[in-house]
Structure 1
Amino acid sequence: MEQKEDLLKDIISHAKEYGFVFPSSDIYDGLAATYDYGQLGSELKNNIKQYWWKSMVQMNENIVGIDAAIFMHPTTWKASGHVDAFNDPLIDNKDSKKRYRADVLIEEHMEKIRQKINKEVEKASKKFAEAFDEAQFRATNPNVLRNAEKIKEIEDRMRTTLENNDLEGVKTLIEDLEIVCPISGSRNWTEVRQFNLMFSTELGSVAGDASTIYLRPETAQGIFVNFLNVQKSGRMKIPFGIAQIGKAFRNEIVARQFIFRMREFEQMEMQFFVRPGDEMKWYNHWKAARLAWHKALGLGDKYYREHDHIKLAHYANAASDIEFDFPMGFKELEGIHSRTDFDLKQHEQFSGKKLQYFDPELNQNYVPYVVETSVGLDRMFLAVMSASFKNEKLEDGSERAVLSLPAQLAPYKVAIMPLTKKDGLPEKATEILNDLRFDFNCQYDEKDSPGKRYRRQDAIGTPYCVMVDHQTLEDNTVTIRDRDTMLQERVAISELRAKIDEKVSWRNLLSK
């Protein structure tokens, strides 16, 4: 675990040094849990958005995108249940004065037991080698079964207490499990209390005359209130989806772990409207489709696992998370939820407007059911960074920091470098740069030795470097170097575009 914590520190430091992520208001010593994306971070973030938008909207004829306002009529949040029910159970440790989410403390305790099971499996796997049957071992080994039973008991108690809003029961569970504060190591806990996560502000120029409104805590409601606008103006037939990328705001109890949990964050959400009764079919479809989307990036299947929810939200009849193995362990990256017809029915009731769809095939009106996919953009950014960042020891004994980013997501696709700053090489390099920049985001780099320049491009994840030398002036060929293999080959300038495109084109990724 210590190794993983070091990895997070290395990523934070690397992100700042190379212009990916800065602490917000850095010259004023920062503001807790807020970050600014730098020049390279903005590029990487935009490329992640593009990948999501292209695969969700461009590749699906029955999904369209919108961009709804952050401010919404305050009754929206009454209808959605956020005013009354958007709470997290919080608990304080009296010795460290640190605040925690009570449910997260319990989940982290269960994760430790899961790790014990995994160690048992790993040990047996080494012992029995090829003869090892993991499924049979998990089903029969007494230690594994005992720990699995412990997890089940904790899950059952946690579900019951949270569903009944039994805060005393949540505290008793924490005490029974002898959970200690990670900072003080003590079990000196306060009572568990509910904490509403919405930021409120005032609309109007004079406080007092203003009406209280909220910064949206999710982007989904902007889609629901526009359901009919989109359906009618776009002549959409069910099943169809509405996608959106946008900022959301939550007054998190515990906002830490770099950009994993922030008070201002960005979501990529799609609400898919279906016939009542078809929702589980589409829920399973989107569960599989979203996992495939993540795995297509090639970061490694070992980073992903699926986790069905213990406690369902008030609007859901099924919910599952795609979890990613972050430097802090497995945590939620994307949620897939079957939201039933809760949201549209609530907005019907509170607005007095009908939010129904006439289905010509069934010859009837109904309120559609909804399947939601919701991925945190900032979490996706951290997932990509943490899986791509490596400190490699090379054959010659030297080291390099490299970001093996999926080529389509890399901030720069190619760096153009003249070998020296004289003899007409910078002019030739600039000519190549000006031609390639119509198709790719390029960087020009002429400072320092070639080796140092290669290391710098490796550290920011640039897939290709093109070196312009004296031979280029004679025969119009250049040396192109691959970030991952570090192999160099001589190619004609006229072939450069096709070679780079082969690696970085969206087509390759979207067709997986």
Structure 2
Amino acid sequence: MSAPATTLQDIIAHAKEYGFVFPSSEIYDGLQAVYDYGQNGVELKNNLKNAWWKAMTQLNDNIVGIDAAIFMHPLTWKASGHVDGFNDPMIDNKDSKKRYRADQLLEGKAEVLTNEGKKDEAQALLNKMGQLLGAEDLEGVKNLIIEEGIVCPVSGTSNWTDVRQFNLMFSTQVGSVAEDSNTIYLRPETAQGIFVNFLNVQKSGRMKIPFGIAQIGKAFRNEIVARQFTFRMREFEQMEMQFFVRPGSEMEWYETWKENRLSFHKAIGLPTESLQYHDHEKLAHYANAAVDIEYKFPFGFREIEGIHSRTDFDLRNHQELSKKKQQYFDPEVNPETGKPFGNYIPFVVETSVGADRLFLATFCNAFTKEMVGEGDKQKERTYLKLHPALAPIKAAVLPLVKKDGLAEIAEEITNSLKPYFRAVYDDSGAIGKRYTRQDLIGTPYCIAVDYETKDDNCVTIRHRDSMEQERVPIAELKDRIGKEVAVERILEAI
């Protein structure tokens, strides 16, 4: 007998019950597509961000980090193309009054065709959609939806409005008096904060091409169709790195970062069979190459990271609009001319991973249901099989009973471990229930203090995944567990 397949509802329920993710403002019935990270969720998310940050800035001598402001001069978004072109194709069903993204309706149809074994038809549909969107033929997109027999899931009808573009940026005003205020935007991406600081970082850090700038920060998009838990939200966090390279070398670096980023996802524990590349059918206005790294969620393969060759689009546009040169002087000798490369606007290769999507992928991958025991005693076991370096709590110290000095020994052990990694003390309930409680939040090691501990200064370590137990001297706990839960284990695997 095998455990039932995991659904997204299983993930959502577990995340809430065990302190990982809560609906935002839940006492007021929540706010659609906005979530709060609970006491365990924030630890897991911070551990993921820490692993990414160190993988970028610690493993690479030529990558540094910044933290740019969320508010930026409005012309930033004019130069980037967001004011004129940051749109999603929307379509309404006249009967249900529900609004949908037209491209997602077509992608859903393609997914159905793929599941039916009609991969060629699915690909042809995606290709056709890409061509129509690329040509901004919105009437053609509507006709394609009708031709494919796509109906509203609520009304069951194909009584569609025309497709139109909807800008996704949130706007607000800055200024003390409304009449004198200027419209500014909540940033829809973190990348532009890097681009406008390109020369500041290059000059102050004496950086030489190629080099990268990394950033973790919040971004905001007015998603009309926000769904699938933390996968698509209106307020989200990005982990981006913009890598500045010599024009003509961008495709070599594009392939390098494509492989490097896949290695990172494997290093944090996402299995090879649940990851895949997906080349873009329709390139963004700034790109000459783009690929997504997709993870197999309970709702199918979806993007968790994008690698884009952005050419010199951003720096060139900022140079033209700001009238400030965004150039780099390259003293290296061009082998073709025998002269220095001189001044040029660098090309950019971007790696952009959604912290919230990575959190969800990691959580889904870790959520494990399995049958344990034999015969009539067989039962279902649920636990989070997180990489030890990512687990919210690394070790839980559990006295067998609260009397006879065992609790005091357990508390002393807990306090001795706290400076090195996150350890907690727990004496509530039977020890079997305490093991289960720690399993459900992904704690990799439980340390049991029993009566023998008073005689031999040893404790029993219980391993989360295998449930195996071993006797270990108290003096060895810091080094034994500390080694396994360190972020260095992830960095070593990249």
Q: TM-score, normalised by structure 1?
A: 0.92
Match of 2:258, SS? Answer: helix
Map 1:249-328 → 2, pairs under 5 A: 249-328=220-299
Equivalent residue, structure 1, for 2:73: 73
Equivalent residue, structure 2, for 1:471: 452
Deviation at 1:116, TM superposition (A): 2.6
Map 1:418-437 → 2, pairs under 5 A: 418-437=399-418
Paired AA for residue 220 in structure 1:
A
Deviation at 1:419, TM superposition (A): 0.9
Q: Are positions 1:93 and 2:103 aligned together?
A: no
Equivalent residue, structure 1, for 2:442: 461
Match among 344, 366, 391 for residue 315 of structure 2: 344
Contact 2:389 2:489 (C-alpha < 8 Å) held by counterparts: no
Q: Determine the C-alpha separation between the residues in 1 that align with 2:26 and 2:448.
A: 36
Deviation at 1:152, TM superposition (A): 3.8
Contact 1:161 1:167 (C-alpha < 8 Å) held by counterparts: yes
Contact 1:5 1:328 (C-alpha < 8 Å) held by counterparts: no
Map 1:331-480 → 2, pairs under 5 A: 331-361=302-332, 362-395=340-373, 396-480=377-461
**Most deviating of 464-473 and 389-398:** 389-398
Paired AA for residue 24 in structure 1:
S
**Most deviating of 356-365 and 154-163:** 154-163
Deviations along 1:172-213, whole A, 9 cap, x unmatched?
Answer: 011111112233332222211100000000001221210000
Given the superposition, is the C-alpha separation of residues 5 and 68 from structure 1 closer, same or farther in structure 2, using an over 3 Å criterion?
A: farther
Deviation at 1:67, TM superposition (A): 0.3
Map 1:59-208 → 2, pairs under 5 A: 59-117=59-117, 147-208=118-179
Contact 2:24 2:34 (C-alpha < 8 Å) held by counterparts: yes
Q: Determine the C-alpha separation between the residues in 1 that align with 2:239 and 2:67.
A: 11
Paired AA for residue 480 in structure 1:
I
Q: Determine the C-alpha separation between the residues in 2 that align with 1:469 and 1:154.
A: 64
More helix by share: 1
Q: Determine the C-alpha separation between the residues in 2 that align with 1:212 and 1:287.
A: 37
Contact 1:388 1:404 (C-alpha < 8 Å) held by counterparts: yes
Given the superposition, is the C-alpha separation of residues 486 and 4 from structure 1 closer, same or farther in structure 2, using an over 3 Å criterion?
A: closer
**Most deviating of 4-13 and 218-227:** 4-13
Paired AA for residue 465 in structure 1:
C
How many residues are treated as equivalent by the alignment?
A: 481
Q: Percent identity?
A: 65
Deviation at 1:246, TM superposition (A): 0.2
Match of 1:256, SS? Answer: coil
**Most deviating of 461-470 and 298-307:** 298-307
Equivalent residue, structure 1, for 2:335: none
Equivalent residue, structure 2, for 1:509: 490
Contact 1:273 1:370 (C-alpha < 8 Å) held by counterparts: yes
Superposition RMSD on alpha carbons, in Å?
Answer: 1.4
Deviations along 1:300-334, whole A, 9 cap, x unmatched?
Answer: 11111110101111110000000111111111110
Deviations along 1:94-121, whole A, 9 cap, x unmatched?
Answer: 233221110111112112222233xxxx
Q: Determine the C-alpha separation between the residues in 1 that align with 2:124 and 2:229.
A: 32
Given the superposition, is the C-alpha separation of residues 149 and 485 from structure 1 closer, same or farther in structure 2, using an over 3 Å criterion?
A: closer
Contact 2:48 2:359 (C-alpha < 8 Å) held by counterparts: yes
Match of 2:277, SS? Answer: strand
Deviation at 1:163, TM superposition (A): 1.2
Deviation at 1:352, TM superposition (A): 0.5
Match of 1:443, SS? Answer: strand
Q: Are positions 1:234 and 2:205 aligned together?
A: yes
Q: Gapped runs of 5+ residues in structure 2?
A: 333-339
Deviation at 1:506, TM superposition (A): 1.9
Equivalent residue, structure 1, for 2:466: 485
Contact 1:23 1:34 (C-alpha < 8 Å) held by counterparts: yes
Q: Determine the C-alpha separation between the residues in 2 that align with 1:414 and 1:254.
A: 40
Paired AA for residue 39 in structure 2:
Q
Given the superposition, is the C-alpha separation of residues 299 and 155 from structure 1 closer, same or farther in structure 2, using an over 3 Å criterion?
A: closer
Deviation at 1:230, TM superposition (A): 0.2
Q: Are positions 1:50 and 2:50 aligned together?
A: yes
Deviations along 1:339-369, whole A, 9 cap, x unmatched?
Answer: 0000000000110000000001124000000
Contact 2:110 2:123 (C-alpha < 8 Å) held by counterparts: no
Q: Determine the C-alpha separation between the residues in 1 that align with 2:290 and 2:369.
A: 37
Contact 1:477 1:493 (C-alpha < 8 Å) held by counterparts: yes
Q: Determine the C-alpha separation between the residues in 1 that align with 2:271 and 2:124.
A: 32
Match of 2:33, SS? Answer: coil
**Most deviating of 494-503 and 473-482:** 494-503
**Most deviating of 488-497 and 184-193:** 184-193
Match of 1:360, SS? Answer: strand
Deviations along 1:30-65, whole A, 9 cap, x unmatched?
Answer: 111100001100000000001100111111000000
Contact 1:241 1:273 (C-alpha < 8 Å) held by counterparts: yes
Contact 2:394 2:445 (C-alpha < 8 Å) held by counterparts: yes
Match of 1:358, SS? Answer: strand
Contact 1:466 1:479 (C-alpha < 8 Å) held by counterparts: yes
Paired AA for residue 217 in structure 2:
G
Match of 1:94, SS? Answer: coil
Q: TM-score, normalised by structure 2?
A: 0.95
Contact 1:240 1:274 (C-alpha < 8 Å) held by counterparts: yes
